[in-house]
Structure 1
Amino acid sequence: MRVHETWSWLHTSPLPWLVLTLAAYELGRRLRARTGHPLAQPVLIALVIVCVTIEVTGTSYADYRSATDLIAFFLGPATVALAIPLHRQTHRLRGLAVPMLLGLLAGTVVSTAGGILLVRWCGGGEALARTMAPKATTTPVAIALADRFDGVAALAAVFAIGAGTLGAVAGPTVLSLLRIREHRARGLALGAVSHGIGTSRALHDDPIEGAFAGLSMGVTALLTCLVLPVAVALML
């Protein structure tokens, strides 16, 4: 009887999913610190562990999302907290406002238009293109924009997480191959392409990179809100 009650509690309580999610992320963080391998990204490792567990237990995504609402709630404060490392690097922003904004605007246009063109080239429909377009923004922004422009909100989250993970895994290597070693430039690139996941990677690599990645992530989200309506009107 106690076993049955315990199983029922585990099945209905949000605590096991909260613990699993946080433990999986912590495992990924420790693996990254120990190995330094590009694939040892905490978000990627946690994603695999949680997805496998959801599949094995037969839990619906809606139930998992409901159980981990507390984590989702703290995403907002965590994003705002990224202003702290940026504040510590404000002296490095002098004279960079115009070139930085122009660079991020160009990146936003390429990312948004590129997402639409990729879907159309692969034969996808308009709804899928509208969903793919905001992939470079943070997941909440991507969901909101996809919903606003008649895309698929749930799929927008998948695209955003995928773009963030790929950018965090491959981005630093690509930047190194291109001989881009300036920490401010690397941070801006990672934040613009892979939002919060890339910012986490940048913070791990260098505090200056992390600060500029956080700034880039916020500005890119804002610019995407301005660029996306124009891209949709012209390309769809």
Structure 2
Amino acid sequence: MPVSVVTLFSIVLTLGIYMLARVLAVRFPSPLTTPVFLSTAAIIFVLVGSGISYEEYTPAKEMMTYLLGPATVALAVPLYRNRYVLWQKAVPAFLGMIAGTLATIASAVWLTKAFHLTTTTAASAAVKSVTTPVAIEVARIIGGDPALSAIFVMVAGMFGAMFGPWLLTAMKVTDPFSRGLSMGTTAHGIGTAQIVNEGSLQGAVSGAAMGFAAILTSVILPWFFPLLK
């Protein structure tokens, strides 16, 4: 099936804006110039201004989303190159991921309780720090709304990518391993895409943490969430 003009325009627009956002992020480093955030905002603005609906943009989105598979597999390259470092720090890293996973779950649930939100919202927010497919399935188990969970995941990843590296620097966390571990545990794939710009080790650790955090959340959340309620 031939690609429509709108689809081709959408693909070129998305790639072009993202590449421009990466250049701006280097020249003007700021949470607001984080490529994922800046490009998302710019693309929405252009699509709304040009009258292209989400339905018309969907074919382009699906083509680009297909590339997430190879991109995720490509994370194995820095993992392999840094395998000895990962193995040497496996025990403290595992303990850190457990602490980080429990903290992200508890903070999400307590915040929803502080704002007197529903139990369904709390369950949906509890999975915010893992990748979307895992979050949706775990949310169903504990009584959350899958669609709402997907939104929380996106917001958590976006804010993690925007403010995570800056907060780590402000807290004087300079160790590459620790920075990667923090981002992968709390901001999943979007955070990993951001922290990999700092170095191969950060990206490798973040990618590994993202995967293990998803497993830990799947195991921990079904019994931990009722305790928080």
> Shared fold by TM > 0.5?
yes
In structure 2, the partner of 1:182 is 175
Which ranges of structure 1 fall in alignment gaps of 5 or more residues? 1-8
In structure 2, distance between residues paired with 1:192 and 1:66: 31
Cα deviations across residues 145-167 of structure 1 (Å, max 9, x unaligned)?
33454423333222222211222
In structure 2, the partner of 1:47 is 40
Displacement of 1:53 after TM fit?
3.3
Q: Which amino acid aligns with 2:79?
A: L
How many residues get paired? 228
Is 171-180 or 119-128 further displaced after alignment?
171-180
> Do structure 1's residue 161 and structure 2's residue 154 form an aligned pair?
yes
Displacement of 1:95 after TM fit?
3.0
In structure 1, distance between residues paired with 2:3 and 2:86: 50
In structure 1, the partner of 2:74 is 81
In structure 1, distance between residues paired with 2:17 and 2:67: 17
Matches for 1:18-33 after TM superposition, within 5 Å: 18-33=11-26
In structure 1, distance between residues paired with 2:133 and 2:54: 17
Cα deviations across residues 77-105 of structure 1 (Å, max 9, x unaligned)?
21221121111111212332221111101
Cα deviations across residues 94-144 of structure 1 (Å, max 9, x unaligned)?
332221111101110111121111112111111211111111112333233
Taking only the aligned residue pairs, the percentage that are identical comes to 37
Moved over 6 A (4+): 9-12
Change in CA separation of 1:10 and 1:94 when aligned onto 2, cut-off 3 Å: closer
Change in CA separation of 1:191 and 1:30 when aligned onto 2, cut-off 3 Å: same
Q: Paired residue for 2:100, among 99, 107, 112?
A: 107
Change in CA separation of 1:39 and 1:132 when aligned onto 2, cut-off 3 Å: same
Displacement of 1:16 after TM fit?
2.4
> Do structure 1's residue 71 and structure 2's residue 64 form an aligned pair?
yes
Change in CA separation of 1:10 and 1:80 when aligned onto 2, cut-off 3 Å: closer
In structure 1, distance between residues paired with 2:59 and 2:141: 23
In structure 1, distance between residues paired with 2:140 and 2:63: 23
Which ranges of structure 2 fall in alignment gaps of 5 or more residues? none
Q: Is the 8 A contact 1:164 1:195 kept in 2?
A: yes
- DSSP-derived class of the 1:124 partner: coil
Change in CA separation of 1:11 and 1:150 when aligned onto 2, cut-off 3 Å: farther
Q: Is the 8 A contact 2:168 2:179 kept in 1?
A: yes
**Root-mean-square deviation (Å):** 2.3
Q: Is the 8 A contact 2:79 2:205 kept in 1?
A: yes
Matches for 1:1-236 after TM superposition, within 5 Å: 13-57=6-50, 59-236=52-229
Change in CA separation of 1:11 and 1:231 when aligned onto 2, cut-off 3 Å: farther
In structure 1, distance between residues paired with 2:52 and 2:174: 44
Q: Is the 8 A contact 1:10 1:16 kept in 2?
A: no
TM-score by length of 1: 0.86
In structure 1, distance between residues paired with 2:183 and 2:125: 19
Displacement of 1:11 after TM fit?
8.2
